[in-house]
């Protein structure tokens, strides 16, 4: 009878464990990361008798955690990829809306400015037309300022997001290191039995970390996890966690992601990190926001440079050569904090058409200078000596170096990064718009030939004799003099240079024919320079003579829109992949309440039956005692 009691008791214990496990599953049906558990039952080896073997009951072999290690690794990667593209898409969509929205962007104010200049060309003496040009110029400058401000705001969001995400990763890493210690201890104390609930917490922490930053993980024999980021740098090793931090870059102009790994060892991992929300923010800054800021700044520089240069070639209503209509944004030069030499660099824009869409870094290796694009590290052709007489030139910049550099010194050159935000009107006086040509031409009253003179084209507005009157006198049908000096060969339609201007005379002159150049004077009604200002809209000022201002802006809008659209497509695909893998994981590890309810009824019945076995055993034993003592 004792064997029957023992068997019933073992069944009672086993099915109580099974019921406890089912209860645990039901209780954690909605707990993130929980893996369904199952009691594995095993029969107890029985007693061998001459005529067979009698069983000895049942025992709990273990409580199995139903989890697929490969699927867990896949989900960590899925979370990392999903959060990366989701974050990237959010920032790309913001930039796209800013640059292409109906009430944003630069297309309308650019068109409005050149429309106003065209109107001035039709009526150069009109005060209203001149005021319209200034108003449109102010609207355009404000448009550039607003775009820069909004893009800077997106960068500010990225800065805040990086700090928050880094803090969160550090918190998760610390929790995982502490959990690793508990897992190792529990595994040792449990004679190799896995601490299932702790392993669920471990896997959930791995997913949390992967959501913020791309990681790879290895699982040790004791169940603890090691986590690595970037190019294999450890974030968590057993019970130890390293810390990420955000700090200014070498020039104090951006944010670098730094991993501290014990002591004073610090590694900059900004360009090695990928995946997760941190990777998405870094990629959005590197691929969308900063390029957009630089391209908008390049537009602002090209506009200011071209308009100012052309206005300087004309005459305003005061009878003076035109001045700047826009402020010329300056190139920002920042020395690296670690520079050991005493050199300084002065930078100016030499050719807006050669400017790229990246900041540049000027480096000194001890013998000479080199120039590289900051975003890609690609070399930029550089020539010259760096002196005022022979400056370094490259990437559209002119660089003059003073002082003595040391090997390893670096300078960050930012010709376009702040340009759109600093663009402004240089004058509020509509009379300063130089709509007229500075010189007017006239044929001599006694000319007898058929030659005619065209308008002047200013080549060197800084020429001190630009406004000096000049007379071109033909000494024969094929030769001429200027102000009575020289004898120059004449070709019909050929270019004639006088005091910083060029002009053409076409036809057949007669000996003694003359043509004069004289200052246009104040309140001139000439519109030659206004037409030249309006013609800037059609000139290919950017990308090495490939794009006009409008086409360069359209290319930027199209590029940013394509990035946002591509990111949205990738996000949809990654969402489907993650959902599919999550469903596959749930099919193995998720809790099905219907299945658990069925198991609970089954184990309850078994438990009640085991109790009945014990009751029956007790009754039989009592009957035996009665018979023996009856």
pLDDT band at 401 (very low <50, low <70, confident <90, very high): very high
Q: Which residues contact residue 512 at a Cβ distance below 8 angstroms, ignoring those fewer than 6 apart?
A: 446, 448, 473, 474
Q: Tell me the residue length of the chain.
A: 630
- For residue 394, the model assigns a pLDDT of 94
Q: Give how far Cα 533 sits from Cα of 23, 123, 316, 327, 414, Å.
A: 81, 14, 13, 17, 28
Q: Write out the two tokens for 416.
A: 């376009």
Q: What is the mean pLDDT of residues 561-587?
A: 94
Total Cβ atoms within 10 A of residue 219? 16
Rounded (5°) CA angle 557-561-566: 150
In the predicted model, is pLDDT for residue 411 greater than 70? Answer: yes
Q: How far apart are CA 127 and CA 120, in angstroms?
A: 9
- For residue 616, the model assigns a pLDDT of 85
- For residue 88, the model assigns a pLDDT of 97
Q: Where do the structural domains in the chain lie, given as residue ranges?
A: 2-66+590-629, 71-287+545-582, 291-422, 439-519
H or E stretch including 407? none
- For residue 263, the model assigns a pLDDT of 66
Rounded (5°) CA angle 504-507-512: 90
What residue has token string 């005692």?
Answer: 625
Minimum mean pLDDT among 12-16, 263-267, 388-392: which range? Answer: 263-267
Helix (H, G, I), strand (E, B) or coil at 503: strand
In the predicted model, is pLDDT for residue 427 greater than 70? Answer: yes
- Model confidence pLDDT, tens digit, residues 105-160: 899 999 999 999 999 999 998 999 999 999 999 999 999 999 999 999 999 999 99
pLDDT band at 475 (very low <50, low <70, confident <90, very high): very high
pLDDT band at 231 (very low <50, low <70, confident <90, very high): confident
Residue 501 near residue 465, CB atoms below 8 Å:
no
H or E stretch including 362? strand 360-364
Go through 330-340 and write b for each residue having 16 or more CB atoms within 10 A of its CB, e for each that does not: ebbbbbbeebe
Q: What is the mean pLDDT of residues 178-185?
A: 94
pLDDT band at 506 (very low <50, low <70, confident <90, very high): very high
Output the pTM of the full model: 0.88
- For residue 52, the model assigns a pLDDT of 73
In the predicted model, is pLDDT for residue 166 greater than 60? Answer: yes
In the predicted model, is pLDDT for residue 2 greater than 60? Answer: no
Residue 83 near residue 165, CB atoms below 8 Å:
no
């Amino acid at each position: 009878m004792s064997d029957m009691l023992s068997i019933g008791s073992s069944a009672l214990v086993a099915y109580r464990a099974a019921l406890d496990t089912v209860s645990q599953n039901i209780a954690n049906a909605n707990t993130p990361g929980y893996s369904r558990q199952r009691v594995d039952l095993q029969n107890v080896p029985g007693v061998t008798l001459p005529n067979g073997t009698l069983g000895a009951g049942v025992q709990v072999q273990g409580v199995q955690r139903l989890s697929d290690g490969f699927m867990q690794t896949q989900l960590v990667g899925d979370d990392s990829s999903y959060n990366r593209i989701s974050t990237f898409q959010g920032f790309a969509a913001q930039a796209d809306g800013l640059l292409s929205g109906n009430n944003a962007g630069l297309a309308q104010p650019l068109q409005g400015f050149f429309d106003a200049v065209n109107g001035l060309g039709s009526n150069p003496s009109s005060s209203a037309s001149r005021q319209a040009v200034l108003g449109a110029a102010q609207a355009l400058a404000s448009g550039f300022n607003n775009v820069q401000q909004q893009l800077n705001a997106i960068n500010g969001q990225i800065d805040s997001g990086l700090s928050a995400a880094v803090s969160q990763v550090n918190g998760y890493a610390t929790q995982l290191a502490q959990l690793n210690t508990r897992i190792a201890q529990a595994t040792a104390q449990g004679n190799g039995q896995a601490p299932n609930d702790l392993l669920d917490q471990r896997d959930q922490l791995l997913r949390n970390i992967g959501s913020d930053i791309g990681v790879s993980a290895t699982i040790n024999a004791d169940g603890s996890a090691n986590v690595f980021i970037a190019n294999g740098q450890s974030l968590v090793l057993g019970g130890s966690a390293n810390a990420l931090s955000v700090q200014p870059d070498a020039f104090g102009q951006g944010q670098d992601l730094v991993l501290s790994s014990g002591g004073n060892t610090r590694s900059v991992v900004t360009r090695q990190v990928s995946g997760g929300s941190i990777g998405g923010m870094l990629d959005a800054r590197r691929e969308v926001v900063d390029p957009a800021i630089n391209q908008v700044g390049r537009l602002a520089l090209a506009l200011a440079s071209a308009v100012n240069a052309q206005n300087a070639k004309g005459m305003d209503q005061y009878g003076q050569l035109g001045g700047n209509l826009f402020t010329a944004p300056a190139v920002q030069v920042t020395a690296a904090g670690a520079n050991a030499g005493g050199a300084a660099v002065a930078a100016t824009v030499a050719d807006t058409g050669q400017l790229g869409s990246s900041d540049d870094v000027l480096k000194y290796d001890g013998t000479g200078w080199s120039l590289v694009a900051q975003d890609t590290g690609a070399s930029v052709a550089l020539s010259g000596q760096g002196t005022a007489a022979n400056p370094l030139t490259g990437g559209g910049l002119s660089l003059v170096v003073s002082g003595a550099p040391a090997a390893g010194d670096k300078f960050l050159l930012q010709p376009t990064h702040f340009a759109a935000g600093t663009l402004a009107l240089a004058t509020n006086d509509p009379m300063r718009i130089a709509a007229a040509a500075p010189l007017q031409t006239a044929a001599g009253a006694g000319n007898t030939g058929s030659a005619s003179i065209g308008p002047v084209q200013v080549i060197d507005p800084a020429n001190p004799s630009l406004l000096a009157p000049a007379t071109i006198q033909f000494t024969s049908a094929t030769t001429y003099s200027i102000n009575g000096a020289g004898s120059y060969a004449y070709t019909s339609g050929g270019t004639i240079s006088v005091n910083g201007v060029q002009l053409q005379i076409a036809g057949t002159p007669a000996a003694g024919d003359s043509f004069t150049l004289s200052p246009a004077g104040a309140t001139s009604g000439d519109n030659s320079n206004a037409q030249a200002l309006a013609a800037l809209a059609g000139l290919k000022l950017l990308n090495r003579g490939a794009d006009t201002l409008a086409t360069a802006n359209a290319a930027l809008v199209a590029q940013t829109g394509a990035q946002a659209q591509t990111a949205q497509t990738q996000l949809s695909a990654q969402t489907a992949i993650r959902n599919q893998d999550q469903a596959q994981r749930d099919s193995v590890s998720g809790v099905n309440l219907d299945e658990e309810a069925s198991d609970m009824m089954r184990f309850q019945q078994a438990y009640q039956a085991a109790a009945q076995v014990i009751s029956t055993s007790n009754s039989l034993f009592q009957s035996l005692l009665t018979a023996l003592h009856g």
